[in-house]
Structures are given as C-alpha cells and as structure tokens.
Amino acid sequence: MTPSLIVLGAPGSGKGTQAIKVASEYGLMHLSTGDMLRLEIENKSEIGLVVQEIMAKGNLVSDELVLDLLKKRFEKKDKSYLLDGFPRNLKQANMLSEQLSELGCEYRVLYFNVDLALIKDRIVNRRTCKSCGEIYNLISKPLSSEGACLKCGSRDILQRKDDSEAVVENRLAVFQEMNNPIVDYYMSKGLLISINAQQDEVSVFEDLKKVINSLK
C-alpha cells in the first residue's frame, strides 16, 4: 500500500498540480486545505466569511479552524491520504502527526525544492479552469488560443485572488518564515524526500513516481 504523502513547498512550486496527478495515479485521497477554504468562501459559509479577508491578504488562518475542516475529511477505514497545504507550521505538523498515527497511517513528506527568486512569475501567471480544476501557466503551460481549457474546453478560467502581484510577496514571506522549521522537523524524523521541482511538469511527475514506487 502506498503510504500517505504530505507535499511541502512554496506557493507556485507546482505541488498542487502534481498532487492532483499523484493522487489519481496512486488512488490517494487528495486533501488540499486551500481548496477546502476556497470552497467555504464560495459557499459563503460561516467559516468562509471568517477566512475570506485573511486569505485575500495571503496570511494563514487559525490552526484550529483548518484542523477541524481537515478532521472531517479523514475516514476511519484503511486509506492513504495526500495532504496539500497542510502543515504550514510546527503546531500543525505535530497535530497532523498525532492524527495520522491515530489513523494508523504511515507517511512520507515530499519537499518541492524551487528557486524562490523565480517563483513570483509562476504564481502571477497561474490560472485554473473552474470546470475541471486543471491548472495552467500563461507562459509555460498556456490555454488554447481562444483562452479555453485544453482538457474540458471550458472558458471559465480563473485567477486566484491571492495570486495577484500585491499578495504574492506576503505569501512568499509567510512561507519563508514557516518553512524551515517544518523541513527540519521532518528531516529529523527521517521522513523528508526532496524533489527537484525546478524541472518541467512531466519530469517532476516522473521523479515523483520513481520515489513513490520505491516506498511501496
């Protein structure tokens, strides 16, 4: 059985795109806390109203709130998960480790290594198809010449509000502040596997498959 996987990496490191592919390839349950929170905002739920402004600024929402959302998605039966966007700090890492051991899940951490100096361009050019969730980059992975999704043909293409130039700087600063302690935490437990996420999408996926196959 494939162990549960945690993907760690800067915004724009490509972890979201690869997480979707990996989850589908290995039958893992993909849990993206960012997607869950965006859905709460879209549904105008109580949680959505609380987090909307925090997310728009690129800051982190409260640990308890995210963990509560996440807990609802963990099932008791035998399952492997792919966690994307969680943990964001050491408190969350500890909470997650407890939760996964309660569920009896073995796990590894895939760290998407990228040069942060190049990442801002990747983020501001990111677009997502609202219909099927495919993620594009206006420069490296463009839409059709009519601006439609190449996978499902939809023209309902969105730019995330927090992918704007004004917010990206803060998101990267938040990432830089929080990231090193988490990387050290998982490295000291011998769970961290570094992935060269500087490569193109296909090569990163090939590397991921090699690594994950060696874990089974």
Residue owning tokens 């463009």: 142
Whose Cβ is closer to ligand AMP: residue 64's or residue 200's?
64
Tell me: does residue 3 bind ligand AMP (CB under 6 A): no
Tell me: does residue 60 bind ligand AMP (CB under 6 A): yes
Tell me: does residue 55 bind ligand AMP (CB under 6 A): yes
Residue 38 falls in the annotated catalytic set: no
**Sequence-ordered list of residues with C-beta below 8 angstroms from that of 127, at least 6 positions apart, any chain:** 135, 136, 137, 138, 143, 157, 158, 159
Among 4, 11, 123, 204, binds ligand AMP (CB under 6 A): 11
Tell me: does residue 33 bind ligand AMP (CB under 6 A): yes
Closest CA to 177 of 10, 7, 5, 3: 10
Alpha-carbon gap, residue 14 to 142, rounded angstroms: 15
Alpha-carbon gap, residue 35 to 41, rounded angstroms: 10
Residue 171 falls in the annotated catalytic set: yes
Tell me: does residue 103 bind ligand AMP (CB under 6 A): no
Cα 76–Cα 82–Cα 83 angle in degrees, nearest 5: 95
Residue 15 falls in the annotated catalytic set: yes
The span of 20-28, 58-66, 104-112, 187-195 binding ligand AMP (CB under 6 A) equals 58-66
DSSP label at residue 89: S
Residues annotated as catalytic (active site), given as ranges:
15, 88, 126, 160, 171
Q: Tell me which residues touch ligand AMP (CB under 6 A).
A: 11, 33-34, 37, 54-55, 58-61, 66, 85-86, 88, 92, 162, 171
